[in-house]
Structure 1
Amino acid sequence: MLSFLDLLILIAFASDRFDDESELYKAIKHGDDNAFKKFFDAHYDALFVFLRNRNISREVAEDLIQKAFLYIWEHRKRIKPDLSLKAYLYRIAYTRMLNYLEQEPNHTTLEKHVNGTKKTPLDTIEYKDLRTAFEKAVSDLPERRRAVFESCFIEDLTYKETAEQLSISVKTVENHMALAFKDLRKELEIFNKI
Protein backbone atom coordinates (compact mmCIF):
# COMPACT_ATOMS: atom_id res chain seq x y z
CA MET A 1 0.00 0.00 0.00
CA LEU A 2 1.32 3.46 -0.86
CA SER A 3 2.35 5.76 1.98
CA PHE A 4 0.68 9.08 2.64
CA LEU A 5 3.55 10.94 0.96
CA ASP A 6 3.29 8.70 -2.11
CA LEU A 7 -0.42 9.45 -2.24
CA LEU A 8 0.27 13.18 -2.27
CA ILE A 9 2.88 12.85 -5.01
CA LEU A 10 0.47 10.85 -7.13
CA ILE A 11 -2.15 13.56 -6.68
CA ALA A 12 0.30 16.33 -7.45
CA PHE A 13 1.42 14.75 -10.70
CA ALA A 14 -1.81 13.08 -11.75
CA SER A 15 -2.69 14.18 -15.25
CA ASP A 16 -6.25 14.85 -16.24
CA ARG A 17 -8.10 11.66 -17.08
CA PHE A 18 -8.87 10.75 -20.65
CA ASP A 19 -12.40 11.37 -21.82
CA ASP A 20 -13.01 7.66 -21.58
CA GLU A 21 -10.15 5.76 -19.98
CA SER A 22 -11.99 2.46 -20.11
CA GLU A 23 -12.10 2.71 -23.92
CA LEU A 24 -8.37 3.45 -23.99
CA TYR A 25 -7.70 0.48 -21.71
CA LYS A 26 -9.84 -1.78 -23.89
CA ALA A 27 -7.88 -0.68 -26.95
CA ILE A 28 -4.59 -1.46 -25.20
CA LYS A 29 -5.97 -4.81 -24.08
CA HIS A 30 -6.69 -5.63 -27.74
CA GLY A 31 -3.16 -4.69 -28.83
CA ASP A 32 -3.72 -1.16 -30.17
CA ASP A 33 -0.22 0.37 -30.45
CA ASN A 34 -1.58 3.91 -30.76
CA ALA A 35 -3.62 3.60 -27.56
CA PHE A 36 -0.59 2.27 -25.71
CA LYS A 37 1.53 5.15 -27.03
CA LYS A 38 -1.13 7.60 -25.82
CA PHE A 39 -1.05 5.95 -22.38
CA PHE A 40 2.78 5.98 -22.38
CA ASP A 41 2.98 9.65 -23.39
CA ALA A 42 0.39 10.65 -20.80
CA HIS A 43 2.17 9.02 -17.86
CA TYR A 44 5.89 8.75 -18.58
CA ASP A 45 6.94 12.20 -17.31
CA ALA A 46 4.96 12.07 -14.07
CA LEU A 47 6.21 8.56 -13.33
CA PHE A 48 9.79 9.72 -14.00
CA VAL A 49 9.38 12.58 -11.50
CA PHE A 50 7.78 10.18 -9.02
CA LEU A 51 10.86 7.91 -9.12
CA ARG A 52 13.41 10.75 -9.20
CA ASN A 53 11.78 12.21 -6.07
CA ARG A 54 12.77 8.96 -4.36
CA ASN A 55 16.48 9.58 -5.11
CA ILE A 56 16.54 7.10 -7.97
CA SER A 57 19.14 7.98 -10.60
CA ARG A 58 18.00 9.11 -14.04
CA GLU A 59 19.27 5.92 -15.72
CA VAL A 60 17.68 3.58 -13.18
CA ALA A 61 14.38 5.53 -13.26
CA GLU A 62 14.26 5.28 -17.06
CA ASP A 63 14.98 1.55 -16.87
CA LEU A 64 12.32 0.94 -14.19
CA ILE A 65 9.75 2.89 -16.19
CA GLN A 66 10.55 0.99 -19.37
CA LYS A 67 10.18 -2.31 -17.51
CA ALA A 68 6.85 -1.20 -15.95
CA PHE A 69 5.37 -0.22 -19.33
CA LEU A 70 6.75 -3.38 -20.93
CA TYR A 71 5.12 -5.47 -18.21
CA ILE A 72 1.77 -3.83 -18.88
CA TRP A 73 2.12 -4.40 -22.63
CA GLU A 74 3.14 -8.05 -22.21
CA HIS A 75 0.25 -8.67 -19.82
CA ARG A 76 -2.31 -6.48 -21.61
CA LYS A 77 -4.77 -9.38 -21.95
CA ARG A 78 -5.29 -9.16 -18.18
CA ILE A 79 -6.29 -5.47 -18.26
CA LYS A 80 -9.65 -4.78 -16.63
CA PRO A 81 -11.00 -1.63 -18.32
CA ASP A 82 -13.04 -0.62 -15.27
CA LEU A 83 -9.89 -0.46 -13.07
CA SER A 84 -7.23 2.24 -13.14
CA LEU A 85 -4.36 1.16 -15.35
CA LYS A 86 -2.46 4.25 -14.23
CA ALA A 87 -2.58 3.18 -10.57
CA TYR A 88 -1.42 -0.29 -11.65
CA LEU A 89 1.48 1.27 -13.59
CA TYR A 90 2.60 3.22 -10.53
CA ARG A 91 2.39 0.16 -8.32
CA ILE A 92 4.51 -1.84 -10.77
CA ALA A 93 7.14 0.91 -10.96
CA TYR A 94 7.12 1.42 -7.19
CA THR A 95 7.49 -2.31 -6.51
CA ARG A 96 10.31 -2.58 -9.04
CA MET A 97 12.01 0.38 -7.37
CA LEU A 98 11.81 -1.35 -3.97
CA ASN A 99 13.19 -4.56 -5.48
CA TYR A 100 16.04 -2.59 -7.07
CA LEU A 101 16.87 -0.89 -3.77
CA GLU A 102 16.90 -4.19 -1.89
CA GLN A 103 19.37 -5.61 -4.41
CA GLU A 104 21.52 -2.46 -4.71
CA PRO A 105 24.77 -3.18 -2.84
CA ASN A 106 25.63 0.45 -2.04
CA HIS A 107 22.40 1.69 -0.50
CA THR A 108 22.53 2.65 3.14
CA THR A 109 18.92 2.09 4.02
CA LEU A 110 15.84 1.47 2.02
CA GLU A 111 14.04 4.18 3.99
CA LYS A 112 16.55 6.82 2.88
CA HIS A 113 15.76 6.12 -0.77
CA VAL A 114 12.04 5.79 -0.33
CA ASN A 115 11.52 8.72 2.00
CA GLY A 116 14.35 10.96 0.83
CA THR A 117 17.34 12.23 2.73
CA LYS A 118 17.60 12.68 6.47
CA LYS A 119 14.73 14.73 7.87
CA THR A 120 15.34 18.13 9.41
CA PRO A 121 13.01 19.82 11.91
CA LEU A 122 11.81 22.06 9.06
CA ASP A 123 10.98 18.96 6.96
CA THR A 124 8.93 17.59 9.85
CA ILE A 125 6.99 20.86 10.17
CA GLU A 126 6.39 21.05 6.40
CA TYR A 127 5.21 17.44 6.37
CA LYS A 128 2.76 18.11 9.21
CA ASP A 129 1.51 21.23 7.40
CA LEU A 130 1.10 19.24 4.19
CA ARG A 131 -0.75 16.45 5.96
CA THR A 132 -3.06 18.94 7.68
CA ALA A 133 -3.74 20.73 4.38
CA PHE A 134 -4.43 17.40 2.65
CA GLU A 135 -6.86 16.26 5.34
CA LYS A 136 -8.65 19.62 5.20
CA ALA A 137 -8.79 19.51 1.38
CA VAL A 138 -10.32 16.02 1.49
CA SER A 139 -12.84 17.03 4.16
CA ASP A 140 -13.81 20.09 2.06
CA LEU A 141 -14.73 17.95 -0.96
CA PRO A 142 -18.46 17.68 -1.64
CA GLU A 143 -19.92 14.79 0.35
CA ARG A 144 -20.38 12.29 -2.52
CA ARG A 145 -16.99 13.16 -4.09
CA ARG A 146 -15.28 12.72 -0.71
CA ALA A 147 -16.97 9.34 -0.22
CA VAL A 148 -15.83 8.18 -3.66
CA PHE A 149 -12.27 9.46 -3.14
CA GLU A 150 -11.92 7.86 0.28
CA SER A 151 -13.30 4.59 -1.02
CA CYS A 152 -11.03 4.42 -4.08
CA PHE A 153 -7.87 6.07 -2.90
CA ILE A 154 -7.76 5.59 0.84
CA GLU A 155 -9.61 2.28 1.25
CA ASP A 156 -8.04 1.07 -2.03
CA LEU A 157 -11.30 -0.26 -3.47
CA THR A 158 -11.65 -0.57 -7.23
CA TYR A 159 -13.95 1.76 -9.14
CA LYS A 160 -16.36 -1.12 -9.60
CA GLU A 161 -16.36 -1.99 -5.89
CA THR A 162 -16.87 1.67 -5.02
CA ALA A 163 -19.74 1.95 -7.50
CA GLU A 164 -21.44 -1.10 -5.98
CA GLN A 165 -20.84 0.10 -2.42
CA LEU A 166 -22.26 3.57 -3.12
CA SER A 167 -24.97 2.41 -5.57
CA ILE A 168 -23.69 4.57 -8.42
CA SER A 169 -22.26 3.81 -11.86
CA VAL A 170 -18.57 3.22 -12.56
CA LYS A 171 -18.64 6.26 -14.86
CA THR A 172 -19.90 8.40 -11.97
CA VAL A 173 -17.03 7.10 -9.84
CA GLU A 174 -14.56 8.02 -12.63
CA ASN A 175 -16.04 11.52 -12.84
CA HIS A 176 -15.92 12.06 -9.07
CA MET A 177 -12.30 10.85 -8.92
CA ALA A 178 -11.24 13.16 -11.76
CA LEU A 179 -12.91 16.10 -10.02
CA ALA A 180 -11.42 15.12 -6.64
CA PHE A 181 -7.91 15.04 -8.11
CA LYS A 182 -8.50 18.42 -9.72
CA ASP A 183 -9.78 19.91 -6.45
CA LEU A 184 -6.93 18.44 -4.40
CA ARG A 185 -4.27 19.59 -6.87
CA LYS A 186 -5.69 23.10 -6.67
CA GLU A 187 -5.80 23.11 -2.86
CA LEU A 188 -2.30 21.66 -2.50
CA GLU A 189 -0.54 23.55 -5.31
CA ILE A 190 1.23 25.82 -2.82
CA PHE A 191 3.16 22.78 -1.55
CA ASN A 192 4.30 22.03 -5.09
CA LYS A 193 6.07 25.41 -5.11
CA ILE A 194 7.96 24.92 -1.85
Structure 2
Amino acid sequence: MFGIVDDKKLFDSIKNNSETAFKVVYEEYFIKLTQFISKMSHDKDLAEEVVQRTMVKVWEQRDKIVLTTSLKAYLYKVSYNEYLMYLRKKSKFPNIESTVIEAIDEIEDEQDNQILLEKIRLEIDKLPPKCREVFILSKVKGMKYKEIAEEMNISTKTIEIHMTKALKSIREALKK
Protein backbone atom coordinates (compact mmCIF):
# COMPACT_ATOMS: atom_id res chain seq x y z
CA MET A 1 0.00 0.00 0.00
CA PHE A 2 2.41 2.69 1.18
CA GLY A 3 5.75 0.89 1.30
CA ILE A 4 7.75 -0.27 4.30
CA VAL A 5 8.76 3.21 5.53
CA ASP A 6 5.24 4.62 5.19
CA ASP A 7 3.75 1.43 6.66
CA LYS A 8 5.92 1.86 9.74
CA LYS A 9 4.87 5.50 10.09
CA LEU A 10 1.24 4.54 9.64
CA PHE A 11 1.54 1.76 12.19
CA ASP A 12 3.36 4.07 14.60
CA SER A 13 0.34 6.37 14.36
CA ILE A 14 -1.92 3.43 15.19
CA LYS A 15 0.29 2.63 18.18
CA ASN A 16 -0.23 6.24 19.27
CA ASN A 17 -4.01 5.61 19.27
CA SER A 18 -4.77 7.25 15.93
CA GLU A 19 -8.19 5.98 14.93
CA THR A 20 -7.79 7.77 11.61
CA ALA A 21 -4.64 5.77 10.78
CA PHE A 22 -6.39 2.56 11.82
CA LYS A 23 -9.36 3.44 9.61
CA VAL A 24 -6.97 3.92 6.65
CA VAL A 25 -5.49 0.45 7.23
CA TYR A 26 -8.92 -1.09 7.78
CA GLU A 27 -10.33 0.37 4.56
CA GLU A 28 -7.23 -0.57 2.56
CA TYR A 29 -6.97 -4.18 3.72
CA PHE A 30 -10.38 -5.42 4.84
CA ILE A 31 -11.59 -6.46 1.37
CA LYS A 32 -8.18 -7.87 0.34
CA LEU A 33 -7.88 -9.95 3.50
CA THR A 34 -11.48 -11.13 3.18
CA GLN A 35 -10.78 -12.32 -0.38
CA PHE A 36 -7.59 -14.06 0.82
CA ILE A 37 -9.41 -15.98 3.57
CA SER A 38 -12.46 -16.58 1.37
CA LYS A 39 -10.29 -18.38 -1.22
CA MET A 40 -9.26 -20.87 1.46
CA SER A 41 -12.56 -21.19 3.31
CA HIS A 42 -14.99 -20.84 0.39
CA ASP A 43 -17.20 -18.98 2.87
CA LYS A 44 -17.43 -15.19 2.53
CA ASP A 45 -19.25 -14.71 5.85
CA LEU A 46 -16.61 -16.72 7.69
CA ALA A 47 -13.86 -14.79 5.91
CA GLU A 48 -15.37 -11.46 6.97
CA GLU A 49 -15.66 -12.69 10.56
CA VAL A 50 -12.02 -13.85 10.58
CA VAL A 51 -10.80 -10.53 9.14
CA GLN A 52 -12.94 -8.60 11.60
CA ARG A 53 -11.31 -10.56 14.45
CA THR A 54 -7.93 -9.81 12.89
CA MET A 55 -8.58 -6.09 12.85
CA VAL A 56 -9.89 -6.09 16.42
CA LYS A 57 -6.83 -8.03 17.55
CA VAL A 58 -4.49 -5.56 15.83
CA TRP A 59 -6.25 -2.59 17.45
CA GLU A 60 -6.37 -4.18 20.90
CA GLN A 61 -2.73 -5.27 20.80
CA ARG A 62 -1.34 -2.26 18.91
CA ASP A 63 0.98 -1.22 21.74
CA LYS A 64 2.55 -4.72 21.95
CA ILE A 65 3.07 -5.30 18.21
CA VAL A 66 6.52 -4.89 16.69
CA LEU A 67 6.53 -4.93 12.91
CA THR A 68 9.44 -6.94 11.52
CA THR A 69 7.93 -7.20 8.04
CA SER A 70 5.65 -4.98 6.00
CA LEU A 71 2.28 -4.07 7.45
CA LYS A 72 0.65 -5.98 4.60
CA ALA A 73 2.58 -9.18 5.37
CA TYR A 74 1.81 -8.81 9.06
CA LEU A 75 -1.94 -8.41 8.45
CA TYR A 76 -2.04 -11.39 6.10
CA LYS A 77 -0.20 -13.53 8.62
CA VAL A 78 -2.47 -12.52 11.50
CA SER A 79 -5.63 -13.15 9.46
CA TYR A 80 -4.26 -16.50 8.28
CA ASN A 81 -3.45 -17.50 11.87
CA GLU A 82 -6.97 -16.43 12.94
CA TYR A 83 -8.36 -18.70 10.22
CA LEU A 84 -6.19 -21.59 11.45
CA MET A 85 -7.46 -21.01 14.99
CA TYR A 86 -11.01 -21.25 13.65
CA LEU A 87 -10.16 -24.53 11.89
CA ARG A 88 -8.58 -25.98 15.03
CA LYS A 89 -11.63 -25.16 17.13
CA LYS A 90 -13.97 -26.56 14.47
CA SER A 91 -11.95 -29.69 13.73
CA LYS A 92 -13.29 -32.98 14.98
CA PHE A 93 -9.97 -34.65 14.18
CA PRO A 94 -7.24 -32.28 15.46
CA ASN A 95 -4.61 -35.03 15.73
CA ILE A 96 -4.95 -35.97 12.06
CA GLU A 97 -4.37 -32.39 10.97
CA SER A 98 -1.68 -31.52 13.50
CA THR A 99 1.26 -32.23 11.19
CA VAL A 100 -0.11 -29.93 8.49
CA ILE A 101 -1.06 -27.19 10.96
CA GLU A 102 2.29 -27.36 12.79
CA ALA A 103 4.13 -27.00 9.48
CA ILE A 104 2.02 -23.97 8.58
CA ASP A 105 2.56 -22.40 12.02
CA GLU A 106 6.33 -22.53 11.55
CA ILE A 107 6.21 -20.39 8.43
CA GLU A 108 7.41 -16.85 9.17
CA ASP A 109 6.39 -14.67 6.27
CA GLU A 110 3.65 -14.29 3.70
CA GLN A 111 5.77 -15.46 0.77
CA ASP A 112 6.52 -18.76 2.48
CA ASN A 113 2.82 -19.12 3.33
CA GLN A 114 1.93 -18.71 -0.33
CA ILE A 115 4.54 -21.30 -1.34
CA LEU A 116 3.23 -23.72 1.28
CA LEU A 117 -0.40 -23.18 0.27
CA GLU A 118 0.50 -23.72 -3.37
CA LYS A 119 2.34 -26.92 -2.41
CA ILE A 120 -0.76 -28.15 -0.57
CA ARG A 121 -3.04 -27.21 -3.48
CA LEU A 122 -0.79 -29.01 -5.95
CA GLU A 123 -0.71 -32.08 -3.75
CA ILE A 124 -4.52 -32.04 -3.47
CA ASP A 125 -4.74 -31.74 -7.27
CA LYS A 126 -2.50 -34.82 -7.62
CA LEU A 127 -4.84 -36.98 -5.55
CA PRO A 128 -6.99 -39.53 -7.38
CA PRO A 129 -10.42 -38.02 -8.21
CA LYS A 130 -12.45 -39.86 -5.53
CA CYS A 131 -9.77 -39.28 -2.90
CA ARG A 132 -9.63 -35.57 -3.79
CA GLU A 133 -13.42 -35.29 -3.67
CA VAL A 134 -13.54 -36.94 -0.23
CA PHE A 135 -10.79 -34.66 1.07
CA ILE A 136 -12.50 -31.51 -0.22
CA LEU A 137 -15.90 -32.52 1.14
CA SER A 138 -14.37 -33.23 4.53
CA LYS A 139 -11.84 -30.43 4.96
CA VAL A 140 -13.25 -27.64 2.82
CA LYS A 141 -16.99 -28.19 3.18
CA GLY A 142 -16.73 -29.61 6.71
CA MET A 143 -18.88 -32.68 6.06
CA LYS A 144 -18.76 -35.68 8.37
CA TYR A 145 -17.55 -39.02 7.05
CA LYS A 146 -21.06 -40.48 7.29
CA GLU A 147 -22.50 -37.59 5.27
CA ILE A 148 -19.81 -37.99 2.61
CA ALA A 149 -20.41 -41.75 2.46
CA GLU A 150 -24.14 -41.20 1.91
CA GLU A 151 -23.58 -38.52 -0.74
CA MET A 152 -21.00 -40.58 -2.65
CA ASN A 153 -22.79 -43.88 -2.03
CA ILE A 154 -19.71 -45.59 -0.56
CA SER A 155 -18.88 -46.93 2.91
CA THR A 156 -17.48 -44.82 5.75
CA LYS A 157 -14.50 -47.19 5.83
CA THR A 158 -13.74 -46.23 2.22
CA ILE A 159 -13.98 -42.56 3.24
CA GLU A 160 -11.47 -43.20 6.04
CA ILE A 161 -9.10 -44.90 3.59
CA HIS A 162 -9.33 -41.97 1.15
CA MET A 163 -8.70 -39.44 3.96
CA THR A 164 -5.74 -41.38 5.30
CA LYS A 165 -4.24 -41.53 1.81
CA ALA A 166 -4.83 -37.79 1.20
CA LEU A 167 -3.38 -36.68 4.54
CA LYS A 168 -0.37 -38.96 4.17
CA SER A 169 0.31 -37.58 0.70
CA ILE A 170 0.06 -33.96 1.91
CA ARG A 171 2.27 -34.65 4.96
CA GLU A 172 4.95 -36.24 2.76
CA ALA A 173 4.85 -33.27 0.35
CA LEU A 174 5.32 -30.84 3.27
CA LYS A 175 8.39 -32.74 4.48
CA LYS A 176 10.17 -32.23 1.15
The alignment's TM-score, normalised by the length of structure 1, stands at: 0.45
The structure with the largest alpha-carbon Rg is 2
* Larger fraction in helix: 2
The alignment's TM-score, normalised by the length of structure 2, stands at: 0.49
Compare relative contact order (CA 8 Å, sep 6+) and give the higher one, 1 or 2. Answer: 1
